[in-house]
Each structure stands twice: as structure tokens, then as C-alpha cells.
């Protein structure tokens, strides 16, 4: 049976070139980068090169890249390190209702400590409104964190404008670019970004490694305490193979960016057009243009998303009901809910995310399977209109 993977936003396969660069660092070049001998120096050099490659992907200096265990830790650190460092109850943070749980739950933890958080609304296509950010700022606001692009509906936020508002009020601006990296051009200097979260496994690198970009001079306290790794800011012996893989993945992402965007966007638009043309009562959530190259989020009215997902899986097609963590639980998508979708449509929505190995044949096959399974499930739905 044909296997079609359309869940690149959940995770991507490690590219062969990436794996090849990682492999020696497990059992040949296994030194600790802090060690003062040849084994150590070799590992140190590899980590330094990776840091430069990751920095280059976002237009930062290598000294501003701090490796972490992934996007989740980077988000937690950004929130905890800036706002959590304020005296209890003093900090005010502004974020949005459509952030990843890594950020939302960090903010919830802040609130438990008596700090306050404003969650900005989004419009029906999933965009934060800059004027809403302006209005939410008060004299205690110490951090604004708005994601670069949303993982469920792909909405690309007006980051330059949002960062400018924060900058001119003297407030630190953080963005979760886990989904945007490798899919959009990013230049932290031009955009006025103070902190930015990255994760390797969304850009064809390994899982369990990511980075937080911290602009020189940004006031942030440490989150993981211990040894003096990462310029004494993030302790723990480096995940050298992971960092090396992340570096290679970043280098490939930067090199292939234009081709990747062009090819993936074309396939995405073809997919959306075919969904709308071939299957009745389907709607696309989010914007057609300001959208991540590989993101498709669709509502298949009258059928429940998890049943559809199961039917697709039986047919070898991998999609998602939203973020990977939501698929295991019954919670309806907080993103679609924030966009104001009626609840029954929230339950009827699926996310498909395309990537570098997706082909037109994959899309054609998926549309034809969807056509059949949507018909099948609608035939016995109590909501189907006669």
C-alpha cells in the first residue's frame, strides 16, 4: 500500500546528509566539548560550526545561539527567564491565544506565581492584530511573545510590525519560530526580534535538540543550572550529535529555502484547489496567501476528525487533528476555537502538512482516498444535509 506522510509539522525525517554528519559523533568523535584534549577539541569545533550554521539561518551572530533540548525548552526558557525573574506578581506578559502549548502552559505557570498574562485574540483567519498588542501594553509588561507562524493553520504573523511595537516600548520581543524556520526567510536583525525559538526536528534534523536565539544584551536569567556550557547560560554536557545534526539541517534549510518554498507552495495550492473542487462541503481554515508553504487545514463538514484520521491511517495516509499532543486527547483545537470556528467545525477539521518528500502523486492519491472516506463517513452522519 502507498504510504503518504502529510504530517511534516509534527516532525520531519532526518535527511541522509544530516544523519551522515551526525554518525561519527556517537562512537568515534565522542569527546566532551569541555575537555582539554583532542577528543574534546574535535567535538568543540563541531559544535562551533553548528552554532554558526544555525545563526546563519536566522541572520544572528553565532554567540547569540544557545542550544537547548528543543522548541519546548526554548519557549519555557524565554518566558521563565524574562518574566519569571521578576519579583512575584510584578511581571506582565503579552502573548496570543493561538500559541503552542509550550508557550501557553509556560504562561499559565507564570500566572500561578501571581504574574499576569494577556492573551491576544486573533481574527477569523488566525492573525494577531498589531493594534491589539499596542492596547495590551502596560507599564509592567516585560515580554511580548507572538509565534512567527502557527503550527495548525499556518498563519504567518505580522512579526516585523509586532516587534516594532514592542521595541519602541522597550519591551523584549520573543517569537516561536519552530514552524517558520526553514519555511520562511527569517532575519532577526531586520525584524527587530530579541529572542527566537527553534527546533531541529521540524527542519529535517534530529529530535530533542533546538535553540534559543538571545540577542546580545537581552536581560534573561538562566533556566537550566549546572556547568558552564553555552556561555554559562544553559548548563549540561552538549548533545553533540544532535547539535551537529541541527547545524547541518540548518545549513541545508538555508541553502534550499527558495526552492523549498516554491515547490511546497505550489503543491499546497494544488492540494487546496483539488480539495475544494473534488469534495463538497469543505472549507479551508486560515489565509490562502499568508500561510506556511506546507500547511493545509480543512474542515470536512458533518464528520468527526478523529474518525477521518483513522480512515486515512487505514489507507496509509498520515495527517493530524492539530498539534500532535492534541491528537492523543479529546481537547478540541484551541487555535480553531480562537479563530471563532463553530465547535462542530472544530471537531471536523484536519491538518495536512507537506514537506520536501511530498509529491504530486501523494496529493492525488490523498484526494482520491479522502473523497471516498468522506463519502463513506457522511453517509451515516446525523448532521449530513440531505
Ligand X SMILES: Cc1ncc(COP(=O)(O)O)c(C=O)c1O
Residue 107: CB minimum distance to other proteins, A: 24
C-alpha cell recorded at residue 355? 514537506
The stretch among 93-101, 176-184, 267-275, 298-306 that binds other proteins (CB under 8 A) is: 298-306
Distance CA 203, CA 264 (A): 14
Element (H, E) at 261: helix 240-278
Task: State the residue for C-alpha cell 541545508.
Answer: 252
Binding to other proteins (CB under 8 A) within 258-277 occurs at: none
Contact of residue 306 among ligand X, other proteins, none (CB under 5-8 Å per partner type): other proteins
Binding to ligand X (CB under 6 A) within 97-116 occurs at: 100, 102
> How many Cβ atoms from other residues are within 10 Å of residue 271's Cβ?
24
The stretch among 114-122, 171-179, 306-314, 375-383 that binds ligand X (CB under 6 A) is: 171-179
Q: Which is nearer to other proteins, 49 or 307 (CB)?
A: 307
Q: Which is nearer to ligand X, 200 or 346 (CB)?
A: 200
Residue 210: CB minimum distance to ligand X, A: 5
Contact of residue 178 among other proteins, ligand X, none (CB under 5-8 Å per partner type): ligand X
Among 86, 118, 145, 151, binds ligand X (CB under 6 A): 151
Distance CA 74, CA 261 (A): 25
The DSSP 8-state label assigned to residue 7 in this structure reads B
Distance CA 333, CA 292 (A): 18
Distance CA 286, CA 284 (A): 7
Contact of residue 179 among ligand X, other proteins, none (CB under 5-8 Å per partner type): ligand X
Determine, following the binding rule CB under 6 A, whether residue 245 of this chain makes contact with ligand X.
no
Determine, following the binding rule CB under 6 A, whether residue 178 of this chain makes contact with ligand X.
yes
142 is catalytic: no
Determine, following the binding rule CB under 6 A, whether residue 199 of this chain makes contact with ligand X.
yes
328 burial (CB, 10 Å; 0-12 / 13-18 / 19+) is exposed
The stretch among 19-27, 59-67, 238-246, 328-336 that binds other proteins (CB under 8 A) is: 328-336
The DSSP 8-state label assigned to residue 63 in this structure reads G
Q: What is the 3-state secondary structure (H, E, C) of 190-246?
A: HHCCCEEEEEHHHCCCCCCCEEEEECCCCCCCCCCCCCCHHHHCCCCCCCHHHHHHH
C-alpha cell recorded at residue 145? 511573545
Distance CA 93, CA 107 (A): 8
Determine, following the binding rule CB under 8 A, whether residue 16 of this chain makes contact with other proteins.
no
Distance CA 223, CA 230 (A): 12
Active site residues: 325
Which residues are at the interface with ligand X (CB under 6 A)?
Answer: 70-72, 75, 100, 102, 147, 151, 176, 178-179, 199, 201, 210, 323
Which residues are at the interface with other proteins (CB under 8 A)?
Answer: 302-304, 306-307, 310-311, 313-314, 329-332, 343-344, 347, 379-383
Amino acid at each position: 500500500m502507498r504510504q503518504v506522510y502529510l504530517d511534516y509539522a509534527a516532525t520531519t525525517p532526518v535527511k541522509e546528509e544530516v544523519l551522515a554528519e551526525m554518525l561519527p559523533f556517537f562512537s568515534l568523535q565522542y569527546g566532551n566539548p569541555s575537555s582539554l584534549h583532542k577528543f574534546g577539541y574535535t567535538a568543540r569545533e563541531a559544535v562551533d560550526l553548528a552554532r554558526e550554521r544555525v545563526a546563519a539561518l536566522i541572520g544572528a551572530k553565532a554567540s547569540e545561539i544557545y542550544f537547548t533540548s528543543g522548541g519546548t525548552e526554548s519557549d519555557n526558557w524565554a518566558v521563565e527567564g524574562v518574566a519569571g525573574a521578576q519579583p512575584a506578581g510584578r511581571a506582565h506578559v503579552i502573548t496570543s491565544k493561538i500559541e503552542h502549548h509550550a508557550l501557553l502552559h509556560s504562561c499559565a505557570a507564570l500566572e500561578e506565581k501571581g504574574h499576569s498574562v494577556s492573551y491576544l485574540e486573533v481574527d477569523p483567519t488566525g492573525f494577531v492584530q498589531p493594534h491589539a498588542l499596542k492596547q495590551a501594553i502596560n507599564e509592567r509588561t516585560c515580554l511580548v511573545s507572538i509565534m512567527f507562524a502557527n503550527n495548525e493553520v499556518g498563519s504567518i504573523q505580522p512579526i516585523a510590525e509586532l516587534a516594532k511595537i514592542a521595541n519602541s516600548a522597550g519591551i523584549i520581543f520573543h517569537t516561536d519560530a519552530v514552524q517558520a524556520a526553514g519555511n520562511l526567510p527569517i532575519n532577526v536583525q531586520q525584524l527587530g526580534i530579541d529572542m527566537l525559538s527553534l527546533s531541529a526536528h521540524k527542519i529535517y534534523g534530529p529530535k530533542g535538540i533546538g535553540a534559543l536565539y538571545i540577542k546580545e544584551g537581552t536581560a534573561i536569567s538562566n533556566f537550566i543550572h549546572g556547568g558552564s556550557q553555552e556561555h554559562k547560560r544553559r548548563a549540561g554536557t552538549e548533545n553533540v550529535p544532535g547539535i551537529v545534526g541541527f547545524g547541518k539541517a540548518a545549513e541545508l534549510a538555508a541553502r534550499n529555502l527558495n526552492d523549498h518554498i516554491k515547490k511546497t507552495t505550489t503543491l499546497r495550492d494544488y492540494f487546496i484547489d483539488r480539495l475544494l473542487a473534488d469534495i463538497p462541503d469543505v472549507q479551508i481554515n486560515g489565509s490562502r496567501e499568508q500561510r506556511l508553504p506546507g500547511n493545509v487545514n480543512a474542515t470536512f463538514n458533518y464528520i468527526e476528525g478523529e474518525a477521518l484520521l483513522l480512515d486515512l491511517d487505514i489507507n496509509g495516509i498520515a495527517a493530524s487533528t492539530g498539534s500532535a499532543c492534541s491528537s492523543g486527547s479529546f481537547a478540541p483545537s484551541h487555535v480553531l476555537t480562537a479563530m471563532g470556528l463553530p465547535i462542530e467545525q472544530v471537531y471536523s477539521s484536519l491538518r495536512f502538512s507537506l514537506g520536501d518528500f511530498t509529491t504530486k502523486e501523494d496529493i492525488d492519491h490523498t484526494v482520491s482516498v479522502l473523497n471516498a472516506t468522506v463519502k463513506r463517513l457522511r453517509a451515516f452522519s446525523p448532521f449530513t444535509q440531505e
